[in-house]
Amino acid sequence: MSTVKPSWTVQQKAAITQTGREVLVTASAGTGKTAVLSARCAELLAQSSNPAQASQLLVLTFTEAAASEMKARIAKAVKEKYAATGDANLRKQVLMLDGADISTIDSFCKKIVTENFHKLAIDPAFRIIDPDEAQLVKSEILEQVLKEACEDQSLCNAVADLFNCRQMDGQSNFSRSIIRIHDYLDGICWRDDWFEKSRRLVGDVPCKGPVADAQKELITAKLGQIIEQLEHSCMLDNMLNPSKAWAAQIEADYIPAIKNAISAIKRKDHAGCAAVIKDFEKSDWARKNKSLEKEIADLIKAPADKGLKDFRSLGQLASLNPRYAQFIAGAEGRHTLTLIELVSRFSRLYSQRKKQLNCLDFADLEQNALKLLVSRDTSEPTELALRLREHYRYLLIDEFQDISMVQEAIIKSLGRGDNLFVVGDVKQSIYAWRQAQPEIFIARLKAASPFEGRQAGAPISIPLTSNFRSRGEILHFVNLVFEKIMTESFAGTDYDQTARLEGGWKYKPLAESTLDGTSSPAVSLHLLVDDYTDEDNDPHHHAMPQNDEMDKTSARLRQAALVAKLIKDMVTGNNGSGRFEVVDRGSGLSRPVEYRDIVILMRSLSRNANEYAQVLRMHSIPVSSQSAIGYFETTEITDCITLLSVLDNPQKDIELAALLRGPFFRVDDSQLAHIRIHSRRSEQELDFYNAFKLYCASGPDEALREKLGDINTLIESWRSRARQGSISDLLWDIFKSTDFLAFVSALPNGAQRRANVLKFHQRAIEFENFVSCARQVTLARFIEFIQKLLDQGQDWSPAPPDISADNAVGIMSIHKSKGLEFPVVILAELNTKFNQSDMADQCLVDCDLGIGLKVISPAARKTMAGLAHQVIREKKKAQALAEEMRVLYVAMTRARERLILTASASKAEITRCVYNGALAQKALPAWMLSSCDKSIKWLLYSLAGQKKLLSAFEIDLDAGAADSDLFSLNVHGPEELLELSRQIEHLRTESRKGREITPCADIAKAQEMLGKFRSSLNWLYPFNAAASIQAKTSVSDFLHRDSTIEPRQYQEVLSDAPRTSPALSRDNDKAMLIGTATHLLLQRIDISSPPARELIVSTLDGLVSHWAISAETAKAVNIDGLLAFYQSQLGQMLFDKQNTILRELPFTAALDASCFTYDSTGLEGEKVIVQGIIDLLIKTPKGLIIVDFKTDNVSAKQAPARAQSYNDQLRLYASAASKAFDMPVIARCVYFIVPGMIVEF
């Protein structure tokens, strides 16, 4: 197969060249959307007439990596066009691309906000708040809101009523609904308008208004589906039941009642509909025909039974339940209004807090950009938006299916109707939790004309269907599945001709790619069926073995063992080599399949990934897995948190015992028992900490007493450091002194464990830089911060180790795989149930329907869903199921050459799906699709008409059945599953044996190895001296190198902005504020002539008016000290025309390493890169004079001694300046502003 991209398809060419109208490209999986988008940009820059400039393009993506890739691809395409044409304009565009607006939406919004900060009344030096810091601040604001609400006489009773009988702790803490609603509103336009709209919705008469209308539409749709379910049972009965009695019963007894309810709803007679439901009684089914098998009888009745159950449950809906208006509606309205008020207060206080901290979050960037570009009153573009419309000739948006409402409004404000180009695929929209709204793209597509029948100037949609990723066989299988289950009524989009995938790459035929002489389809479906009970029902005619061995392993482990077996066979089944070839996309050459080519994808990694990794390792298969558990649940991080908890408060018995027993001290269980036994001999009961201290003082076992005494001394030493210094520095020293990193690295999956510990240390550093913690950087505060994250169900993603070079099978979630491709994909655990736990929340929120609450009756202790909650729940359930289908599509389209699907299922479940799917129409009805709670059911429904599935389960519906060779079906029955269970138990036993210590048989060989180990351990790095100093540092870090608390061992990011500290507007250290403000003033004062007091004061006022410093800080600036400097002999040199004056001069210099240490042994020839800023450099004809301004509060008597502490700093300045200007430094001066005194070196 060639690695060169084929020529553009007709659709791709149209997408690249079509201009003068809005172009919507629906790019199915693997159809080259990125290549098309990049080529279109290059085409716009290379047009023969009136080409666009790079600065006139606005290209927006969703990730930084995608933006970088896009920019590189565009540059490559333009360079190729330049090489072909020699057009000088193209060469210019290549140079301009670095400054082009090709970025993420957030980056673009940040640019707009930064350039127009004055219109938003924000500080231009704002920073983006760390997400974890934001969570901490939100928790504090929530506590403040609840406290103030309880103290507010007008609100306290309503708040008590709202929270009465609700859970108020843990992850289900109802009060956290306030934060969840606030976060949800980040993705909608005009938060205050939503509050007002939600209040109006609550004010509607019960069962009247938009929410009630929405429920009535749902009821009508549900009744229609119930009719379809009943008719489906009739069809099954007519086909499978000789007597056909049940069909007659359904048509006579059940369908008329449903139709009466539908008629009542259409007449808006809701009381009549409720009466029909209430009076309905299901009669017993007619007696079963004796010749009809029970399994078939249950199959026939199941759709009708489910439909009738749903029919009776409709009576509980608010619109049809007379008790709702009487008992629930009033409380629901009161509670909802109270919650809206609390959310409104929270949003206001949180905004105020962020302004105090001078920071914004990512949502603020979009919301502020919206304010700048769209008029809230008219929804029309602002003057700024109109200017940007003129500036940007073309707007190009990637991943448009994941756009939010705010992002859509921003893009709409910049579009002219003829300059917008968007690329997306509704079938791959799987980020609802990020506020993605695929409905936005769907609505635009419906309003556009098809590419083939386009109208002049109208928006057009261009489908890309040629897939350049996967084998044709895989694509045909994907089409076979989704053309039956992906419908507009269920998934929001039809899988029609514009969605069907066609092969774009020319692969070798399957038979030619195999290396062992066999040939099998590119797709295989493996069903693990473990409930056959006798010979008649087992397609393989094996009876269930009568033993308990199957109970020792779960279905998940058996499926993992099967996957391991398949992988082993693929990679080593051909005499130790791969059974088939895959194409290496880098070289374009074919090679045998390797472990690195295989990835196992799962919907959820929870529990699954760890067990799969364990089983694969048992089979000697190298594996690289995303962690299946949360970061805080990993053993190594639990150990770290336990350590910090004890250092904060050692009188926590469980934590102290865990710390002693853990890897830091390794006290065994027997020794812990001795501590407790000894304490019981005392006359008073002691907690474990005091028992531990008692044993340190008087324990009978001298060795243990000394060991515990050393531990106690160490803990007290660490506690002392924790109170005085940096948490991150303390952690790092503990890790080094206890070899904790080496310990975790030696554990299974050690690379990831080590990465997790390093991430914990890095997060401690970041926590110490949280502005919200400026005066509270304490150990207790850090522990509180982590505990709040845990209480909220927040977590950090486990740090992935560097596995890029590993030849290992990958395990990852489907979401993580989006945008990636793999030669072999194993889509496992398709039997995992969909997670719909969010639907059970007591509080749901929707952009159109407001807030939905469950109402608790304190007297009855009963929870009842309100009207809005019922409607929102159904809406979210439908959206969640549609997204699950899209997730399945994304997973199946990751495979390039082989797709393997595995699932565990019962025979009854499979039979039911196959019968129903085979007898249904080509496109399955929505009720059947929505009844599925796992992906395997959708697959079985879609493949139900295939002969191999029908014959495997002895289903007699072969007439008209398809006989596709696109996939192989493998049914693994009880005996095979039993063998898998035995295999797992055997490998477990062998693994335990492998950990047993056996005596060494060859002492001499062991001693030789021991000598080699000693030699390796005693080896010293010859350049250790160079390793002990930083390769790059700043002058300020070097200045504080001897402080009690060492500086952070990381590099600060240098800014191109003027030397204004972002902390100038924050509630931070006053001395730092004054110092930074003074330096800024010295930089801005006009020195064309000696400045008078009035000039200095006006310059200072200007800084205040431009938000650079606060008025309070400006008052503290010592103007007299500055005047004294300008009037001094040194200050007068600034006005000498022979001299050149440089203020705030940044420099980077390579200086001898000996300048940075007291002992230069071993540092000969070593250089250190140093960065700094010289306050004032006077370049005279005789040489250079360096002046450093200090705002230290010292007296004239103290100044000379204080100046000595800055001598090394000025020495570095002098070395750097002398090398830069090739001139000698004739004076180094420190000017202390407070006493107005110059000290010269």
Give the domain ranges of the chain. Answer: 10-126+361-464, 213-320, 510-626+806-972, 631-670+707-791, 1032-1053+1118-1240
Euclidean distance between CA atoms 862 and 48, whole angstroms: 73
Q: Is 497 exposed, middle or buried (0-12, 13-18, 19+ CB in 10 A)?
A: exposed
| 662 in Cβ contact with 669 (< 8 Å) | no
CA–centroid distance for 661 within its chain:
35
Q: What local confidence, expressed as pLDDT, does residue 1055 receive?
A: 32
**Pairing, β 590-592 against β 598-602:** unpaired
pTM above 0.85, yes or no: no
Q: What is the CATH number of domain 510-626+806-972?
A: 3.40.50.300
Give the other-Cβ count within 10 Å of 794's Cβ. Answer: 17
Q: What local confidence, expressed as pLDDT, does residue 322 receive?
A: 82
Tokens 């005789």 found at: 1182
Write phi, then psi, for 125 (nearest 5 degrees): -90, 25
Euclidean distance between CA atoms 766 and 128, whole angstroms: 13
| 506 in Cβ contact with 542 (< 8 Å) | no
| 9 in Cβ contact with 466 (< 8 Å) | yes
Euclidean distance between CA atoms 734 and 761, whole angstroms: 11
Give me 746's structure tokens: 């030696």
Which of 502, 588, 593, 566 is closest to 823 using CA atoms?
Answer: 593
Fold of 631-670+707-791: PCRA; domain 4 (1.10.486)
Fold of 1032-1053+1118-1240: Lambda Exonuclease; Chain A (3.90.320)
User: What are the CA-CA distances from residue 1176 to residues 140, 788, 1212, 1214, 1240 (Å)?
Assistant: 44, 47, 14, 12, 14
Q: What is the CATH number of domain 10-126+361-464?
A: 3.40.50.300
Check if 10-126+361-464 and 1032-1053+1118-1240 are the same fold. Answer: no
**Pairing, β 590-592 against β 581-583:** antiparallel
pLDDT along the chain (1241 residues), means of 10: 61 91 93 92 89 93 88 89 86 86 93 92 88 87 93 91 78 83 94 93 77 92 94 91 88 92 90 91 82 86 93 91 82 92 96 91 94 94 94 94 94 91 94 90 91 74 94 95 93 92 89 80 93 42 49 84 95 82 84 93 84 89 74 85 91 91 91 88 82 90 91 92 85 91 84 86 83 67 81 65 67 91 96 88 93 80 86 94 96 96 94 88 85 95 90 78 85 91 85 61 78 77 67 64 37 34 43 85 90 92 80 88 93 92 87 67 74 92 94 89 89 89 93 93 86
Write phi, then psi, for 547 (nearest 5 degrees): -155, 175
Euclidean distance between CA atoms 843 and 866, whole angstroms: 10
Euclidean distance between CA atoms 791 and 449, whole angstroms: 51
Which of 318, 187, 301 is closest to 247 using CA atoms?
Answer: 301
Q: What local confidence, expressed as pLDDT, does residue 80 receive?
A: 87
Which of 900, 901, 897 is closest to 823 using CA atoms?
Answer: 897
Spell 545-581 as b/e; 16+ CB within 10 A means b.
eeeeebeebebbbbbbbbbbbbbeebbbbbeeebbbb
SS3 string, 1031-1100, reads: CEEEHHHHHCCCCCCCCCCCCCCCCCCCCCCHHHHCCCCHHHHHHHHHHHHHHHCCCCCCCCHHHHHHHH
